[in-house]
Structure 1
């Protein structure tokens, strides 16, 4: 394992990625690597390469991003089915405050109208992951406070390639992944498919699976046209994905968690998520010596229906209240566990209210991105520019059914279906950006601006409700400045400042002032070092929120009456330090020891006193911390690498996190006030052996020491991460 492998393990340096740069790969929104070993681009950008993705064979984006500094995560189901990802302290809930792209195109179900990422692409088929934070993310939006995550799919090859990956493991885990592509003259194609499944690691009262099945299929075809002045490439991409998962929001009381963290109560027996996603995308790329121009036309459709427990009838307490204080709500608690029937003679009846959040989404648009290299006054300007017209929509048709707990079995009561939410939210948005980077001796300076121009519409579609219709218009310009000063061949300093913005939802009140939106001014300053043996980067960041906005969603709120309501937290400061280090120690001519480490320190403070009805805030005093934001995060990896085999160990530490920012106050109870998610240390182990022309075999153990701490109590009770799981696989590529 030489230096290039080390750099890939960290995913941030000049990583032998030059082949992609030479091919002008369509799927990468920015080529992070350069021929020089010292990266001189401004801003924080991280590449996780295909080699690193194969090292631990993770299917979970949470585990993949654990090796990127500045990423904060709240685990939920243990598999990463519906990730909760934030950058630099923004709320991780449903990854709604980061911009998520696949092959440079918005991939969320409705990124403007309903940005909660209930759909997330299968990472198993990705060949790279790119993370942009700070001023480096000015080109991507609409969410610009935190940054951008771009998932890169396999490109159409220039010659025949193919691969097969089969694996099996604990709890009924199975993976089947295959692809094949080829090119004849100017026409190329790629077909790829993935199937993942697991029986789940939780033990459902009364029996049943708690796992999932996911399918994902991809077809690409392209045509290359080489000209004297311009080279062109035309590509069509078709994809389909579905998921059927027996997943629930219901957790456990702390005492039940201590007894068996992997138990699932009988009340969650019917819970199930059913989804389908399709994408069509056409891409045209035009390239010359001075201009690169890429045009993408895309359409995404997504539909989902999630059946899960919402509450109990004849109960003034929410599910959060019941599980936080079971001794006060003994009857309801016993019904949830299946140890008491819903109907008991002479006592209050407690039926189960099961809600199905049935939603349909679409997002579509056309975007043009370009790079123009032009000399002016003896200086070379690299001008990046782009424009996008985007439309998206969410249609909600939520309904509830009544279930009765009968002898430990949750049984549907016929004729009880009632629609609870029927509405439509939609957005038409124009986005534009321009950034000019120019090198003055040792200083590379970038100045840019992004514009978001949005027209939003909300319509309440319930037939028995009064007319509830709203339109609103937003026009906002977001400037940014970034730079890199090269101290010598091995080191340099980076800096930047940019305006951050998160749009409000179409249904939120249109107040016509800055309090309507989340806005911040974000700063970063740091340095890089790379002498060909040792790599080191450290970046300090400071996010100055003028108005922090949080919304109540099913995944984080715990109370039905606040769903889809937005709350203002006023002025908040978030600051910290991101660092990463990597080096390889050669033991002899056959063995290397690659090592890398990332560490993130983050602090946050509310600047104003407020009394909020948001269940994660409550009575906030100046100096209170944001919930679900750890102060310390560290990931350490070490390996032993031979030409024919390798063993890698990954250790991740996350310090404790508060469940709430403030405390309850008069007539407002917060069942999780004062509680913390405990610190966790998780160790993963992976190994592989090369069989030459016959492929490779690999094995891995996730959570080697079977860590079973609570990872979250949102929205309803304590929930565990994935326990120790083992798998073995075979991979063949040609």
Structure 2
């Protein structure tokens, strides 16, 4: 059920700004670098709640499915690495949104896709102004705006589906003369599609999720008759998620028999997350040639992922990779055998995060004879932290059910606090002269981070830390884009910038650095477009980070230098609108990414499972050589049919070369999406 655009009046006040914190200004066609915008109309075609499905329409973007719902997306850009989206800059309304963007960038919190009205993806030199992660690029999620037209606007979108899935998105907003507002909620539930082994006679346990998301926006503008426009904007958000997700997989044999099975030992695995955000912005606009904006932001996030840690002292991966060697432990996992007390350990991966700061920018437009200039300068004063207080509880397996046998002491497994303090500045320009557009830019980052390790026997941290690790980084990140208009329909573009990833708090690894180059063309007409861009990321040092999701023999968060590496390829984005009849149209879109090379150029050993022992010319894991999306729509003023096919080629799960080993290969996949609509009213 969908109800929208009620109460809306038709008079828009041109003096009041309605745009959220966007990065791309002007048209995408005139951006001197690789940039993509998924607008509201495109998002509404499939109304996907899984951001991974949405981003497959952006060439050069890589994804890795995990839970099937997109709850904790793994996203990379141009071979940057995909694990927990930790190597790209994630923003919501222009503000860094990862739990601790500098200290611990893994995105265990992710913006709720149903609240988004558009998405910006920047992959070239235009990503320099955002920072700090410029190796891959930037994804900026634009949330539902306050209504554009004067008056009120409401929308209700309710859905239901298999596995007791429900999805509700509601908002109500009002645009007034001076005071405007929006209230919004997204409520999503599902029992999940995986089947957990349970004792005979008991009902199936949920493997799904429950998400509750709330948003409030307020905007107060000065009188429209005043010469300079002033606007105060406040955004408050709260998101709670409970998801019965696990890292426990299946043996190869069990997977072939039933890929949707979950072992009994994962029955208590559960992720609980609570995210609160505050954003306050003040805008000054001369309505002529200058504009400035300052934003204060504060994001709090707490999560506790209670999940299986070990069985009889053995890791999950060791048991599942060698079920015959660890036959007893395998029987405990499946529930086929009862165990003694405390044989099975579940860990509270309990972590607290905060990210706060103030950022601002000022832009100024002016002309010098036949040259148009737009100068922009900005700053960000930022600090974030991650606080880990983790412990384990003991269980026994009894008749395929986990029975609690001991409670762990708080912080008895991990007790550490890490934080970062950052000051950054950027300066960029857009210079339009004749048929050329030049966009030079530079960013400076000064980063101070520290990690305090406390004794696991000191949960209240009454004593001094057992170890303190400090690190300072100061880096200058330049970039340059150029665009040339051959005619009204054809543009050539190129760009070069420094790729940079700051090391994590307490890391001994060097910063990740690369030289990134792109060159391409854009061709457009009234009916279609074609973008073709070649990209090259030449790493001087590539860095891998150990996480629980990727595995590894080292401490979670440890980083490893991978030395020199190359990622290069071609991105194609084509669209054409066919007219079947005067009233019936068929828009067709094709996005294709060819990653022709994605190799390490060094030999080294690491404790990062995805890399392991690497030989020169090994291919990187989780990067497909081919990926493609084709979508077609058949529409008129009353109805529409949308169909999309999403293909991702095979990729390695471990670095290697030559023929793919089956146990270290993720097969190619083809996923179809389809949706039909009929409008009962105009």
**TM, length-normalised to structure 1:** 0.86
How far has the Cα of 1:325 moved from its partner?
2.3
The answer as to whether partners of 2:124 and 2:137 remain within 8 angstroms in 1 is: yes
**205, 212, 215: which is aligned to 1:215?**
212
**692, 695, 704: which is aligned to 2:681?**
692
The answer as to whether partners of 1:597 and 1:634 remain within 8 angstroms in 2 is: yes
**207, 228, 231: which is aligned to 2:229?**
231
Q: Which has the higher contact order (CA 8 A, sep 6+)?
A: 1
**309, 317, 321: which is aligned to 1:320?**
317
The answer as to whether partners of 2:414 and 2:456 remain within 8 angstroms in 1 is: no
Counterparts of 1:268-667 in structure 2, within 5 Å, are 268-288=266-286, 289-315=288-314, 318-343=315-340, 351-376=343-368, 378-417=370-409, 419-462=412-455, 464=457, 467-509=466-508, 516-557=510-551, 559=553, 561-602=554-595, 603-662=597-656
The answer as to whether partners of 2:128 and 2:479 remain within 8 angstroms in 1 is: yes
**108, 111, 125: which is aligned to 2:98?**
108
Q: Which residue in 2 is equivalent to 1:6?
A: none
Q: Which residue in 2 is equivalent to 1:676?
A: 665
* Aligned equivalents of 1:382, 1:120: Cα separation in 2: 33
Equivalenced residues, count: 652
Q: List gaps (5 residues or longer) in structure 1.
A: 1-18, 344-348, 510-514, 664-671, 694-734
1:135 is the counterpart of 2:125: yes
Deviations 1:188-214 (A, max 9, x none): 111111100000000010030000000
The answer as to whether partners of 1:660 and 1:673 remain within 8 angstroms in 2 is: no
The answer as to whether partners of 2:24 and 2:120 remain within 8 angstroms in 1 is: no
How far has the Cα of 1:374 moved from its partner?
1.9
1:84 is the counterpart of 2:71: no
The answer as to whether partners of 1:319 and 1:558 remain within 8 angstroms in 2 is: no
Q: List gaps (5 residues or longer) in structure 2.
A: 1-11, 199-203, 459-464
The answer as to whether partners of 2:391 and 2:408 remain within 8 angstroms in 1 is: no
* Aligned equivalents of 1:165, 1:238: Cα separation in 2: 22
Deviations 1:643-701 (A, max 9, x none): 100001100111101010149xxxxxxxx9962000101111111110116xxxxxxxx
* Aligned equivalents of 1:376, 1:527: Cα separation in 2: 28
The answer as to whether partners of 2:471 and 2:506 remain within 8 angstroms in 1 is: no
How far has the Cα of 1:534 moved from its partner?
2.3
* Aligned equivalents of 2:136, 2:15: Cα separation in 1: 30
**TM, length-normalised to structure 2:** 0.93
Counterparts of 1:143-162 in structure 2, within 5 Å, are 143-157=133-147, 158-162=150-154
1:63 is the counterpart of 2:50: no
The answer as to whether partners of 1:306 and 1:356 remain within 8 angstroms in 2 is: yes
* Aligned equivalents of 1:493, 1:593: Cα separation in 2: 28
* Aligned equivalents of 2:236, 2:457: Cα separation in 1: 40
The answer as to whether partners of 2:389 and 2:415 remain within 8 angstroms in 1 is: yes
* Aligned equivalents of 2:559, 2:132: Cα separation in 1: 18
How far has the Cα of 1:30 moved from its partner?
2.6
How far has the Cα of 1:377 moved from its partner?
5.2
Q: Which residue in 2 is equivalent to 1:731?
A: none
Q: SS at the partner of 2:29?
A: coil
**189, 193, 196: which is aligned to 1:197?**
189
The answer as to whether partners of 1:211 and 1:246 remain within 8 angstroms in 2 is: yes
How far has the Cα of 1:327 moved from its partner?
2.0
The answer as to whether partners of 2:278 and 2:298 remain within 8 angstroms in 1 is: yes
How far has the Cα of 1:222 moved from its partner?
0.8
**83, 94, 99: which is aligned to 2:84?**
94
* Aligned equivalents of 1:65, 1:23: Cα separation in 2: 31
Deviations 1:257-283 (A, max 9, x none): 111110000000110111111111111
The answer as to whether partners of 1:125 and 1:154 remain within 8 angstroms in 2 is: yes
Q: SS at the partner of 2:633?
A: strand
* Aligned equivalents of 2:480, 2:313: Cα separation in 1: 57
How far has the Cα of 1:458 moved from its partner?
0.8
* Aligned equivalents of 1:611, 1:180: Cα separation in 2: 55
Distance 1:415 1:440, change over 3 A: closer
